Structure 1
Amino acid sequence: MEKLRMTSPDLTDANIDKLAELFPSVVTETLDAEGNPRRAIDFDLLRQEISDHVVEGPQERYQLDWPGKRAAAFAANAPITKTLRPVREESVDFDTTKNLFIEGDNLDALKLLQESYLGKVKVIYIDPPYNTGNDFVYEDDFAESTQEYLARSGQVDDAGVKLVANTESNGRFHSDWLSMMYPRLKLARNLLTDDGVIFASIDDHEYDNLKKLLDLVFGAANHLNTFVWASNLKGRQISSSGAAGTKEYVLCYARHAEEAGAFRVSGSQMKALMPSIYKGFNYAVQNDEHGPYVLKNELYNTNSAFNEETRPNLVFDIYYNEDSGEVRTSPVSVNHTYDGFIKISPKQNNNGVNRYHAFRWSARKVETESYDLAFVESSSGWKVYTKVRDVDSTSLKDLLMDISTNEGAADVERIGIDPSWFDYPKPVSLIRTLIGAASSRDSIVLDFFAGSGTTAHSVMQQNAFDGGTRSFILVQLDEGVGPGNTAQKAGFAAISELSRERIRRAGSAVLESVGLAVGTLDVGFRSLRVDSTNMADVLRSPGETDQLALHQLEGSVKADRSGEDLLFQVLLDWGLELTMPIVVERIDGHEVFVVEEGVLIACFDSEVSPELVRTIAKREPLRAVFRDSGFSSDDARINAEQVFREVSPATDVKAI
């Protein structure tokens, strides 16, 4: 029996709970006066979370630590002056799709997505670099200067992409990898819904570190599962000693474990991922007037000890009429055989004592839901089974077998792509099963290590399977494919180009497979590119300018940027989703962008007429934006504001 607290509430614990919700990484353990461990706040890390510079001040505590950790935390919070530019020519169904493909560093992309997709992503799947000593990892340049990095690694590609071969000889082999992953996971967590989850594939090289890192970012209590995937049953010798490796892992964490819910998949999907000796799906589907069903369990409860005194509602006899199908739980006659009723008692143990003498259902449920009971006569007497109506749904298991890593290569080969273009692409069926189990039919799925594009392929296949409208956001660094790669010989320069080509072909294959049942199946994507801000740097000291150069500083927008470029930066600044439908109209000779029927109307022409301002105001959009330099004077800008106050006072009007 719990005791009353008899004290005022412990506000310290309440405050720790609040901080844990905002910043899970700052919760740690310390010792109290008696030497017992208790929860505490790492104030050094908390200061870092709310600081705009690197904070020093280490203190002994239980934590995952490595050289560069503070700088990595700072990198997650530091603002950037970048934007996302649309690339229509690389897109598919640009005007109608709800999917995104972003080319560029995923740290930048995750920062740019923070407002538009905060708390909106249901499932994240990532397959990060496995840090085997040959993989390339992202070099974020927050722990050392560019010169130091180049001196250490001695390499940078022609395009200036920051890549470093992270070899075993590097003294910071694990630290570099952790510093790369930490800020990305922190930013990714912000994007998850309250019931959202992240799946992260990893092998033995960094399993321990990734597990601890996810504990740090999401909180150890939000660890849901560690899936073991038997990816290569032939085995691969990892080192000169020990056994051959046959498995990889998929770590799964929730934003809030109590809200994530159970993972359910179809029996056919789960059967494909379980060993052939597993008998859990060897059942026959039957039908009655209430629909299909399967018999999976006997009604007898053999898990606990019962008797009439402890659980009288579960200790009774069932009376069943084989001819009429009627079921009762009270005697129908003295000899229990009146009018064809048969008495069926719960199982008893060998000594006849009423241990296990109970049913799993109450007497009332047996009578009211008797249509979901099946009575089967056997040599040992009558047995009662429950009918399970959800005939093609089962819980996802954390052991995934009977699917080889080689199937990933087969997936791309089936859509006409040379498997050698990619290094060990993940199988579609693996990721599709995870997505199907953890997402709703209208969820957003994010993968910020897109690689071969398997996640997009999986989302489209799952939508075709269950009629869903899931959308995907993929991010891939414009990393070179490497000299001698067959993809380079085929004309592809970067992995991001390969990813887009795979998604295009996968979309066409999915459409072909569903035929006339296409419906609203979305196999397109808007291609965006991380780039520098659209705004020109016009800040100069008086000594840096002369009278002749002043006219070059009047415009605040870079000369090579289009109106659509500016529109997407406005969408980001306003926190609007980047897949909203966009219609381009010509109004009074001006190019006008109308986003989702008036959620936003924008004109970025170099000259904005009063007539255009009034026309847009009459449409009463929620938001309106103009180019600041498009107004001929301060008076013209003030007049435009006045027009909106009179005609559409609810419109939020801004200028760039």
Structure 2
Amino acid sequence: MLRNESFDTKDEIIQNLKNVAPSIFSEGKVDMEKLKALLGEEVESGKEKFRLSWMGKSEAIKSINIPSKGTLRPNTKKSLTNGVEKENSIIEGDNLEVLKLLQKSYYGKVKMIYIDPPYNREEDFIYNDDFSQTLDAYLKYTDQVDNEGQAVSSEQEKEGRKHSNWLSLMYPRLFLARNLLKKDGVIFISIDDKERKNLEFIMDEIFGEENKLGVIVWKKKTNGNNMGYIPPVHDYILCYAKNASEDCLLGFPLSKEYVNKNYANPDNDPQGEWKTSDLSANHEGPYFPITNPNNGEVHYPPRGRYWVFNEEEVKKRIKDGRIIFGKSGKASPVQKVYLKDRKSLRKKAESWWDKHGMNEDGTAELSELIGTKVFDHPKPTTLIKHLCEIATKENDLILDFFAGSGTTAHSVLDLNKKDNGKRKFILVQLPEPIAHDKFQNIAELTRERIIQAAKQIDVNPNFKYFNLDSSNFRDWNYDLQSEEDVRRQMELWKDPFKEGRTEEDLLYEVLLKAGFTLTADIKKHEVRKSFFYEVIENDQHILIYLGEELSESLINVMREIYANQVFFLDEAFDSDDQKKNIQLQWEEEGVAFRSI
């Protein structure tokens, strides 16, 4: 039976523990003493531990394991696909709920995450997580359910300026975000001085200190307007990996200017363009004299250094022309390093970024596209494009769950145009109200910015739009207290779907809970005015029938199509016997049978 809850992170952790250490379980639960014994010296002893704690941390952590009972409903009116493959997704809703809903479908699939979260300043703090019922709080805020005439107001949000609330906001979102990253995935987070140190604490806790790749200092403006004792002109971008390695960050592609400046071929070497590199190193190694064959002069490594090659290899390289004695032939020996032998035609990004766009550039870009100033400090596309360049390849998936004005999507579209890439994006944005004559909320602005940016770049924006909402399925009460409760529940079970929900709504909820992405390939088949769906993604191939009347001809057509799994509504079957017979037929062919 498919239940209307999101992927359970706790269950995933438990299953992983069972896979690697089944011996620590006793009667289905973790035996902490066995776990400590297994880990041995890795278990930290004593009461004093170096950690960051704040009021509400335990509740924030608990919120991670509260499954979402929401769903993502496709919004056909706001989608823009122009008949092409739906590669990108925009999701309107609270990002904590959305991240929970994406866990199963996007677990380990995102190469890069960029977020520009609220910086915890003096203005109102729009996110207010109710850890016991986050979806209900969101639905009330967006007027999707009765809130007794009262939406979330700024007066209720004053406490959001505190460090504790900001940390409680970020912790569960970052925890869930890490799950979505690929093994070599990275996350970039823009932040200022106020919360940098606290953000690093929780990032170290969630990702591990060993997976911190570095901190970029980004010059965001030319002067600090005399703010504070030392007026700030920069922000920070923290960079962490899911598993730190040389593969996480690719670096900047070498520009023609860089190549021309650093490489040349003045002697027409058949190996191509080259530059010189020191022949000595400061670690212990070979030490011997090298004689210049041009003038007989003898050279030794500088004091405290050693040659990087042994004597035989040096002689061979001198003969091959790979070790030279300067352009004149009379200088100290150096080695040739060929452009073609570089492991990567990219250059590592350094920590100081002062030529990567500024706040004023981001403001000008948005104003040009929208026609008026909306935000004070939207990030410039140059900054986000450069982050994408150093972290992603042509087909990677990029997630931004604090989408704001949509700079990340704009940057992805622009970079794809530049290098013929096919990077895809997922944006998540709360419909936060704004004072604007054209847009009622930020999510509307996000969508329009992408459309206008695509026109400017001359590309197809190509996105599917979704709204966070409560599940399409009515809640089943698993704790019935009386016969009357059972009777009412059985009446409800006759029609388990909420009014006003479409077949497409049901389809996408099934797909999310079955682990398919929002852009999976969907084909609709018709059999005598009845419809079923064929969905293909990677090695998964499922058939879904959401009708309430099941004919033999439809079953026969479905069985002719290859599938790993099949899904049916329970009410499609005339009887339990019919359901069981059809289930056995598929299972005999190795096809998993699921009922809804």
Shorter-chain TM-score: what band?
0.7 to 0.9
Q: 1:128 aligns with which of 117, 139, 142?
A: 117
Instruction: Say yes or no: does 1:587 pair with 2:545.
Output: no
Distance 1:619 1:562, change over 3 A: same
- 1:620 paired with 2:562, answer yes
Contact 1:196 1:260 in 2 (8 A): no
**Corresponding position of 2:451:** 504
**SS at 2:336 equivalent:** strand
Letter of the structure 2 residue corresponding to residue 221 of structure 1 = E
> Are 2:41 and 1:103 equivalent residues in the alignment?
no
Confirm whether residue 478 of structure 1 aligns to residue 465 of structure 2: no
Quick check: 2:91–2:466 contact (8 Å CA) kept in 1? yes
Match of 1:489 among 429, 432, 437: 437
1:115–1:575 CA contact under 8 A, matched in 2: yes
Does 2:112 correspond to 1:119? no
Letter in 1 for 2:196: Y
Matched, 1:204 2:154: no
Q: Work out which of the residue numbers 242, 252, 276 in structure 2 matches 1:255.
A: 242
For residue 576 of structure 2, the aligned residue among 634, 642, 653 is 634
Could you say which residue in structure 2 is the equivalent of 1:235? 224
Indicate if the aligned counterparts of 1:137 and 1:166 stay in contact, CA closer than 8 A.
Answer: no
Deviation at 1:426, TM superposition (A): 0.6
Aligned pairs for 1:173-192 (under 5 A) are 173-192=162-181
Over 3 Å counting, the alpha-carbon distance change for 1:157 and 1:468 in structure 2 is closer
- Greater shift in the superposed pair: 134-143 or 212-221: 134-143
* Pick aligned residue for 2:362 from 388, 395, 408: 408
* 1:85 and 2:73 matched: yes
Q: For residues 358 and 563 of structure 1, do their structure 2 counterparts lie closer, same or farther at Cα, with a shift above 3 Å needed?
A: same
Query: How big is the shift at 1:75?
Result: 0.6
Q: Any idea what SS the aligned residue of 2:547 has? A: coil
Q: CA separation of 1:250/1:566 partners in 2, compared to 1, >3 Å: closer, same or farther?
A: same
In the alignment, what sits opposite 2:26?
Answer: none
1:611-639 Cα shifts (integer Å, max 9, x gaps): 21121012131221111112222233223
Q: How does 1:70-469 map to 2 (within 5 A)?
A: 70-93=58-81, 96-142=85-131, 165=154, 170=159, 173-239=162-228, 242-258=229-245, 260-268=247-255, 282-283=261-262, 288=268, 293=273, 295=275, 297-301=276-280, 303-304=281-282, 311-312=286-287, 315=288, 317=290, 336=293, 346=299, 356=305, 358=307, 364=313, 367=316, 370=320, 376-378=326-328, 381=331, 384=334, 386-389=336-339, 393-402=346-355, 403-414=357-368, 416-469=369-422
Deviation at 1:264, TM superposition (A): 1.2
The question of whether the paired residues in 1 share the 8 Å contact of 2:142 and 2:431 is answered with: no
Instruction: Give, in angstroms, the shift of residue 377 of structure 1.
Output: 2.9
Count of residue pairs the alignment pairs up: 542
Q: Is the 8 A contact 1:447 1:473 kept in 2?
A: yes
Q: Distance in 2 between matches of 1:145 and 1:468?
A: 37
- CA drift at 1:293: 3.0
- Indicate conservation of the 8 Å contact 2:324/2:334, yes or no: yes
The aligned counterpart of 2:55 is: 67
Instruction: Tell me the amino acid that sits aligned with residue 496 of structure 1.
Output: A
Per-residue CA shift, 1:136-182, capped at 9, x if unaligned? 331111289999x99xxxx9676669756499974971111111111
- Note closer, same or farther for the CA distance 1:385–1:573 as it changes in structure 2 (3 Å cut): same
Look up the SS of the partner of 2:106 in the other structure.
coil
Maintained 8 Å contact 2:126/2:432: no
Measured at CA, do residues 526 and 360 of structure 1 come closer, stay the same or move farther in structure 2, by a change above 3 Å? farther
SS in 1 for 2:548: coil
TM-fit CA distance, 1:396: 0.4
* CA gap 1:569/1:167 in 2 versus in 1, 3 angstroms: closer
Q: Secondary structure of 1:64's match?
A: coil
How big is the shift at 1:263?
A: 4.0
- Whether contact under 8 Å (2:378, 2:405) holds in the other structure is yes
Conserved? CA contact 2:120–2:160, under 8 Å: no
Deviation at 1:284, TM superposition (A): 6.2
The residue that corresponds to 1:562 in the other structure is 502
With over 3 angstroms needed to count, the CA separation of the structure-2 counterparts of 1:412 and 1:316, relative to structure 1, is farther
Q: Structure 1 unaligned segments of length 5 or more: list them.
A: 1-14, 20-37, 44-58, 272-279, 320-335, 513-521
Which residue in the other structure is 1:571 paired with? 511
Residues of 2 paired with 1:317 and 1:289: CA distance? 23
Residue 29 of structure 1 corresponds to which residue in structure 2? Answer: none
Shift of 1:198: 0.9
Q: TM-score, normalised by structure 1?
A: 0.73
Measure the CA separation in 2 of the matches of 1:269 and 1:632: 70
Structure 1 counterpart of 2:420, which letter?
Answer: G
User: What is the alpha-carbon distance in structure 1 between the residues aligned to residue 321 and residue 527 of structure 2?
Assistant: 66
Cα distance change of structure 1 residues 164 and 294 upon mapping to structure 2, 3 Å threshold: farther
Q: CA RMSD in A?
A: 3.8
Q: 1:181 to 1:290 in 2, by over 3 A?
A: farther
Name the counterpart of 2:550.
608
Mean CA deviation greater in 367-376 or 211-220? 367-376
Whether the 8 Å contact between 1:592 and 1:601 is mirrored in structure 2 is: yes
Alpha-carbon offset, residue 528 of structure 1:
1.4
| Kept after mapping to 2: 8 A contact 1:344/1:382 | no
**Cα contact 1:479–1:496 (8 A) shared by 2:** yes
Closer, same or farther in 2 for the Cα pair 1:66/1:250, shift >3 Å? same
Q: SS of the residue aligned with 2:499?
A: coil
Paired residue secondary structure (1:115) = helix
SS at match of 1:236: coil
Change beyond 3 A, Cα 1:157–1:264: closer
Moved more, 462-471 or 356-365: 356-365
Query: Retained in 2: the 8 A contact 1:375–1:384?
Result: yes
Counterpart of 2:578 in structure 1: which amino acid?
A: A
Counterpart of 2:522, as a letter, is I
1: CA distance, partners of 2:315 / 2:248: 28
The one-letter code sitting in structure 1 at the alignment partner of 2:99 is L
SS in structure 2 opposite 1:431?
Answer: helix
Partners of 2:269 and 2:456 in 1: CA distance: 39
1:318 and 1:595 map into 2 onto residues whose CA distance is 71
Native 8 Å contact 2:108 2:180 kept in 1 = yes
SS at match of 1:111: helix
Deviation at 1:235, TM superposition (A): 1.6
When structure 1 is superposed on structure 2, of 536-545 and 391-400 the one drifting more is 536-545
How far is the alpha carbon of 1:342 from its aligned partner? 5.7
- Report 1 or 2 for greater relative contact order, CA contacts < 8 Å, sequence distance ≥ 6: 2
1:442 and 1:470 in contact (8 A); partners too:
yes
Question: Judging changes above 3 Å, is the alpha-carbon distance between structure 1 residues 451 and 317 closer, same or farther for their aligned structure 2 residues?
Answer: same
Moved more, 91-100 or 242-251: 91-100
- Matches of 2:450 and 2:130, distance apart in 1: 31
Q: 1:534 to 1:434 in 2, by over 3 A?
A: same
Contact 1:298–1:383 (8 Å) recurs in 2: no
Deviation at 1:316, TM superposition (A): 5.0
Cα offset, 1:422, TM superposition: 3.0
SS at match of 2:105: coil
Q: CA deviation at 1:545?
A: 9.1
